[in-house]
């Protein structure tokens, strides 16, 4: 079976599986966050942490909950790493270096999972399970909670309440992420993914030397790593490692887990706002961007014309033989179209335009379809910008879903939209000016610039993948990437929660003959064009010096 045929079969199975669960999971998500009933387990947690689940919050209080919870999470995860020698299952591994511990703590709490260390030689099983895996659940639940709060801003009228952050966080974890991750961890074990508490197994190499192959509780980590669009690998090679992703079937399951919640959230959004076609329009825009990027990556990799590819008969350097060009292209597109960052091949080894595809996905703001929660509120921000531009063209106050978009709403949307480009362009520019940066690059010229640009795009978008040629262990990269992750995560969250509070305080305005319909192809085209236009105006100069120049060389 040819590589192309195998890739098309897996692509078809993936789309069929997503279509099958779209309605039931989307409706389940809507019920989870709209019902007034609390489970007994949830009530016990509320009593333990002294939370009144029936008290709703204004947007500043909701935002304070997000920030306070995230800050405490960073501190606890940092301490776990620093105190590793005192913890069980440390496997004899020492305290994590302060810079690495800080970067990792911020990384996992912000749902980035950027890793500047070798997991199988740095982290013991306890830190992996009690620290990193727990944050995979909680950081995803935070993004889900924020998306639901923003949705309530469109649904509610003449109120200053957006719900309760602690209730949304608990429900997202207990009712959505935990049960799904448990089931799919068993599925991955059945497909050959390793699940072991041993440090490793001793083997004798063909040359007679003795080596130890690391083991880990990988299946349980893998399930939530993909489901929560986190991406951090329990092995350094991530989803290219045969213990994490052994076969094409496990690869298919992982792709499904990455996409299933972000895709189904569009159905939940349509259900909650009372007009499901609104969700379908958002999904169509996400799908078009995802498909266009996949076409670019796959075509570029299949027809790579560099000397190494021509000599070998295919562009297979940096790719796993069991996946090939097709499955690697699908995974690269999916993991950067969401905020996942997991990889089943080396993105640094992609061709000029092939590597530009994943980079472009992140520069769009990762909305195709985006991460758990972040994709939904990210594309809603761009929908507001699109409606504002349409209002300017026709000379009337823009509206979206029955809410007027005035100065306050557009300002909040603009701040949320501009946070990521600020991080990416400022960070990349400063890094390239520093005298020590050249030594951290695996390549010079256009590809070297792409490595730096990709690093800040990945951290600023809370993605976590990287061009492996960049050595990011210096104090500058550890600290600046940490700041980029925090800024790229929390500034948009604060802006969209402020936006949600402003929308919820408004009354609903009825549609008139002058209202632009937002359920048809005209609005979908307008929104798609806005996404592409914003990214082009912001990043074309940087892309021209990096992947575009490399492709034309």
Residues 6+ apart with CB under 8 A from 48: none
Q: What are phi and psi of 313, to 5 degrees?
A: 85, 0
For residue 211, the SS3 value is strand
Q: Which of 334, 301, 337 lies closest to 319 in space, CA to CA? A: 301
**Across-strand partners of 211?**
203
**CA 393 – CA 395 distance, rounded (Å):** 6
The DSSP code sequence of 140-205 is HHHHHHHHHHHHHHHH--S------HHHHHHHIIIIIIHHHHHHHHHHHHHTT-----SSEEEEE-
Question: Residue 50: what pLDDT?
Answer: 94
pLDDT in tens, the chain (553 residues): 578 888 899 999 999 999 999 999 999 999 999 999 999 999 999 999 999 999 999 999 999 999 999 999 999 999 999 999 999 999 999 999 998 999 999 999 999 998 888 898 899 999 999 999 999 999 999 999 999 999 999 999 999 999 999 999 999 999 999 999 999 999 999 999 999 999 888 888 888 888 888 899 999 999 999 999 999 888 988 999 999 999 999 999 999 999 999 999 999 999 999 999 999 999 999 999 999 999 999 998 887 655 555 555 556 777 888 888 889 999 999 999 998 989 998 888 888 788 888 989 999 998 999 999 999 999 999 999 999 998 888 777 789 999 999 999 999 999 999 999 999 999 999 998 888 787 777 777 888 888 889 899 999 999 988 887 777 778 888 889 999 999 999 999 999 999 999 999 999 988 877 778 899 999 999 999 999 999 989 998 888 888 888 777 7
**Across-strand partners of 403?**
400
**Across-strand partners of 212?**
202
For residue 213, give the H/E element and its range.
strand 210-214
**Across-strand partners of 404?**
399
Q: What is the largest CA-CA distance in the chain?
A: 81
Question: Residue 353: what pLDDT?
Answer: 82
**CA 489 – CA 143 distance, rounded (Å):** 9
Whether 67 and 83 have beta carbons less than 8 Å apart is answered as no
Q: Distances from the Cα of 358 to the Cαs of 12, 350, 380, 467, 478, in angstroms?
A: 21, 10, 22, 10, 22
- Quote the tokens at residue 179: 């049960």
Q: Which of 310, 307, 314, 389 lies closest to 345 in space, CA to CA? A: 314
**CA 487 – CA 36 distance, rounded (Å):** 34
Whether 341 and 464 have beta carbons less than 8 Å apart is answered as yes
Question: Residue 542: what pLDDT?
Answer: 86
β pairing state of 403-404 and 210-214: unpaired
Residue 501 half-sphere exposure, CB side, CA atoms within 13 Å?
19
Residue 208 per-residue DSSP state: S
pTM: 0.94
**CA 297 – CA 243 distance, rounded (Å):** 26
- Quote the tokens at residue 276: 């499901």
- For the chain, helix (H) and strand (E) counts, in that order, are 21, 4
Question: Residue 510: what pLDDT?
Answer: 85
**CA 551 – CA 553 distance, rounded (Å):** 6
Whether 309 and 547 have beta carbons less than 8 Å apart is answered as no
**CA 269 – CA 251 distance, rounded (Å):** 28
* Residue 249: count of CB within 10 angstroms of its CB: 16
Whether 216 and 93 have beta carbons less than 8 Å apart is answered as no
Question: Residue 364: what pLDDT?
Answer: 92
Q: Can you give 265-286 as a three-state secondary structure string?
A: HHHHHHHHCCCHHHHHHHHHHH
The DSSP code sequence of 436-475 is TGGGG-SS-HHHHHHHHHHHHHHHHTT-----TT----SH
* Residue 37: count of CB within 10 angstroms of its CB: 6
């Amino acid at each position: 079976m040819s590589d192309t045929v195998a890739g098309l079969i897996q692509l078809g199975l993936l789309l069929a599986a997503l279509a099958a669960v779209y309605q039931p999971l989307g409706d389940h998500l809507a019920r989870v966050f709209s019902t007034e009933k609390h489970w007994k387990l949830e009530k016990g947690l509320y009593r333990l942490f002294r939370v009144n689940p029936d008290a709703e919050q204004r947007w500043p209080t909701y935002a304070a909950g997000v920030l306070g919870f995230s800050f405490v999470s960073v501190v606890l995860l940092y301490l776990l790493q620093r105190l590793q020698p005192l913890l069980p299952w440390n496997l004899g591994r020492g305290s994590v270096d302060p810079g690495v511990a800080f970067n990792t703590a911020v990384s996992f709490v912000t749902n980035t999972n950027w890793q500047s260390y070798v997991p199988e030689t740095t982290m013991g099983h306890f830190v992996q399970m009690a620290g990193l895996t727990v944050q995979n659940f909680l950081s995803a639940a935070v993004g889900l909670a924020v998306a639901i709060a923003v949705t309530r801003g469109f649904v509610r009228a003449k109120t200053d309440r957006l719900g309760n952050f602690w209730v949304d966080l608990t429900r997202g974890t207990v009712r959505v992420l935990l049960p799904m991750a448990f089931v799919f961890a068993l599925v991955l074990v059945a497909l050959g993914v390793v699940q072991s508490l041993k440090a490793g197994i001793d083997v004798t190499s063909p040359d007679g030397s003795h080596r130890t192959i690391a083991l880990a509780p990988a299946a349980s980590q893998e399930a939530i790593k993909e489901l929560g669009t986190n991406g951090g690998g329990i092995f350094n090679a991530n989803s290219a490692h045969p213990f994490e992703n052994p076969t094409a079937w496990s690869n298919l399951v992982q792709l499904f887990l990455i996409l299933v919640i972000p895709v189904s959230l569009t159905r939940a959004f349509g259900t909650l706002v009372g007009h499901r076609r609104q969700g379908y329009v958002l999904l169509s825009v996400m799908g078009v961007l995802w498909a266009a990027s996949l076409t670019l990556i796959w075509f570029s990799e299949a027809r790579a014309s560099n000397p190494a590819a021509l000599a070998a008969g295919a562009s297979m350097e940096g790719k796993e033989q069991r996946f090939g060009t097709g499955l690697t292209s699908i995974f690269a597109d999916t993991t950067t179209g969401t905020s996942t960052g997991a990889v089943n091949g080396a993105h640094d080894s992609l061709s000029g335009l092939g590597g530009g595809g994943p980079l472009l996905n992140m520069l769009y703001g990762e909305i195709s379809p985006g991460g758990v929660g972040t994709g939904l509120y990210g594309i809603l921000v761009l929908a507001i910008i699109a409606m504002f531009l349409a209002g300017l063209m026709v000379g009337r106050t823009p509206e979206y879903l029955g809410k007027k978009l005035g100065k306050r709403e557009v300002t909040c949307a603009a701040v949320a939209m501009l946070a990521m480009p600020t991080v990416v362009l400022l960070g990349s520019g400063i890094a390239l000016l520093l005298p020590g940066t050249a030594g951290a690059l695996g390549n010079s010229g256009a590809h070297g610039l792409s490595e730096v640009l990709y690093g800040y795009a990945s951290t600023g978008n809370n993605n976590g993948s990287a061009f492996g040629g960049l050595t990011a262990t210096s104090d500058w990269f550890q600290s600046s990437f940490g700041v980029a992750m925090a800024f790229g995560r929390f500034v948009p969250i604060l802006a969209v929660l402020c936006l949600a509070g402003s929308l919820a305080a408004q009354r609903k305005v009825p549609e008139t003959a002058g209202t632009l319909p937002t359920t048809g192809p005209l609005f979908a085209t307008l929104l798609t064009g806005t996404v592409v236009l914003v990214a082009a105006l912001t990043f074309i100069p940087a892309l021209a010096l990096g992947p575009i120049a490399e492709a034309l060389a």
